[in-house]
Amino acid sequence: MAYDKELAAAIKAASLAARLCRKVQKALLQSDVRSKHGRNKSPVTVADYGSQALVSFVLQQEFPGEFSLVAEEDSNDLRKDGGGEIVERITKLVNESLTSDGSYGVSLSSEDVLKAIDSGKSEGGSQGRHWVLDPIDGTKGFVRGDQYAVALALLDRGNIVLGVLACPNLPLTSISVAHPHSPNNEVGCLFFAEVGRGTYMQPLDGSSTVKVQVSAVENPEEASFFESYEAAHSMHDLSSLIAQKLGVKAAPIRMDSQVKYGALSRGDGAIYLRFPRNGYREKIWDHAAGSIVVTEAGGVVTDAAGKQLDFSEGKYLDLDTGIIVSNQKLMPLLFAAVGASLAQKSKPQP
């Protein structure tokens, strides 16, 4: 089954959201950063909410019938006392984005925007179609001025069938440990993939689309690997042990968000390791778009036991230990190194 219309709408929605996010990041004010309730108190910005409202609105305009969105944000904090000013700012940003696009000819009220944000409360599951959105994946990177992504995927009867990663700060040319920035300062990539049709990359302005493939590296000594920038998001010591057992010589490339999946899909590195701390449960919006972008580019995405990621069980991914990503040739060696490293770490220390 082709998903051409859905993919076109997803690219449009993610591109608009990425432009809004880029605008906010350039003029990031302290007042734009709020704190989510909960244990981590992770920062959330007007861009997270604005991005979710935009994507939700565009998808509902393109598919006005049955609509289901599984997304990270809701309007609870915004509706509390003192939230009026930030809601006005979000509404202004969303309307400016829609006006610049010119497709819809509408002006949304603050309540329209809050309702659009709250349309992301679906639980997902194995029946029907569900859009899966992380409006800003890598909020901490966003606040620091580093990497982040607008990550949007479509789940159809439990399977991810398309994914879009808009990466406003990722250089158009390959990155590496030695050259993490584009030599000509051109940044802003969008990756998209549809099941059975490969993965493509284009600049955020939509010009010059190219098909991408994962790295063909077979020798681990020549491989480089990605991991999370934040040590709280992945155990760097375990990743280091795995790399050592593999014989990887290059230092890790540490980046926030699913940008790592995009960079890996075009061969910037050959391995991505993510091993969260015990007790952390992965959410589907943190991996849905990235996983299909990599697999359609010829890569493999599994948990530490070699099982494919299952997006059909609601908002959470139940995994064995962590997520490992690589090409077909390196995967058997990577599995062996992961298994040996996990066994070593689990042994009681003398």
Annotated binding site for Mg(2+): 72, 134, 136-137, 286
Rg over CA atoms, the chain: 20
Q: What is the dihedral of CA 63, 66, 201, 17, to 10 degrees?
A: 70
Which helix H or strand E contains 118, and what residues bound it? Answer: helix 110-118
Determine how β-strand 282-283 pairs with β-strand 210-212.
unpaired
Q: Label residue 307 exposed, middle or buried (CB < 10 Å: 0-12, 13-18, 19+).
A: exposed
Nearest to 311 by CA among 155, 122, 148: 155
Distance (Å) of CA 94 to CA 115, 153, 165, 188: 13, 21, 20, 20
10 Å CB burial of residue 183 (0-12, 13-18, 19+) is exposed
Tokens of 167: 């990466």
Give the active site residues.
48, 139
At position 123, the amino acid (one-letter code) is: E
Give the total residue count for the chain. 350
Cα separation of 275 and 213, whole Å? 25
Task: Give binding residues as ranges.
Answer: 72, 134, 136-137, 286
| Angstrom distances, CA of residue 23 to CA of 39, 93, 270 | 29, 9, 32
Extract the tokens encoding 304: 């530490």
